[in-house]
Amino acid sequence: MKIKTTAACIVSGAILSTSVSAEQLWSSFSLTYLNGSEYEVGDDDRQVVTVEHASGHSWGDNFFFLDRLKSSNGYTENYMELSPRLSLGRVSGRDLSFGPVKDVLLAGTWESGEGFDNYLGGVGVSLDVPGFSYFNVNLYQVNNENVDDDQQMTLTWGLPFELGSAEFLYDGFLDWSTAESDHAAEMNFTSQLKWNAGKLFGAKSPVYVGVEYAHWNNKFGIKGVDERNPSLLLKWHF
């Protein structure tokens, strides 16, 4: 709730001051199914259904996902993130690009799970990296509800490529957060390698099959709890 209200006020003020209309430039909606057997912290075997929405606007961009996790022992839980970013270049009407940097943004994230809400705020840049459809870096100060506050760096990327007539996408994220008095430093490198099987039956939007691999050191800040988890993946874009 807090991050949504703050982001809305910032965006509203910027738009009013620069007379920029809140136009949506693009959007993407997808459903993903994952099945993995090497999870740490809790049951090893889990299935995950993810609802995901990303969009670009005249004021910046936004990303949202909701995970519904079900363990083989019957335990279920939900986890979501909402991540709006305000483009300082777009709302000011100025070209803020330099070197590989395409734009500078104010970045925020609201994380919500079973028994906690964390709020992240900071700055980000969009980078122009050859071959990548996007490459973003965000630096956050994190207000954690149940552990000491820390700092986090987040990288996200998308790399489409083709082998013959087959279309592939390699995308993912890297989260790195600092150690504090009550938790260890974390590094979560999670990526997906996907083949667009939708081309076989003429789907208008991608239907991906592939694998996700999570390489997570000190999961949830627990020293020595390292997850190495491959999962089968099916992702359907609308």
pLDDT category at 21 given cuts 50, 70, 90 is low
- The proportion of the chain whose per-residue pLDDT surpasses 70, expressed as a percent, equals 91
Which of 207, 83, 100 lies closest to 154 in space, CA to CA?
83
* DSSP strands (E only) in 180-238: 186-196, 207-217, 227-237
Q: Is the pLDDT of residue 71 over 50?
A: yes
Q: Is the pLDDT of residue 22 over 90?
A: no
pLDDT category at 70 given cuts 50, 70, 90 is very high
- Classify the C-alpha dihedral 199-205-209-213 as positive or negative: positive
Q: 70 burial class (0-12, 13-18, 19+ CB within 10 angstroms)?
A: middle
* DSSP strands (E only) in 13-100: 24-36, 46-57, 60-71, 76-87
Average pLDDT over residues 154-159: 98
Q: Is the pLDDT of residue 13 over 80?
A: no
**Rounded CA gap, 175 and 221, in Å?**
12
Which DSSP symbol is given to 98?
Answer: B
For the record, the structure tokens of 186 come out as 């974390």
Which of 27, 63, 58, 66 lies closest to 205 in space, CA to CA?
27
pLDDT score for 222? 98
| 71, 142, 164, 192 from 38: Cα distances, Å | 12, 28, 33, 16
Domains and CATH numbers, the chain: 2-237 (2.40.230.20)
3-state secondary structure of 184: coil
| Identity of residue 24 | Q
Looking up tokens 């099959």 gives 209
| 43, 116, 149, 189, 193 from 167: Cα distances, Å | 35, 39, 42, 23, 11
pLDDT category at 5 given cuts 50, 70, 90 is very low
Model confidence, pTM:
0.89
Q: How many residues does the chain have?
A: 238
**Rounded CA gap, 235 and 167, in Å?**
14
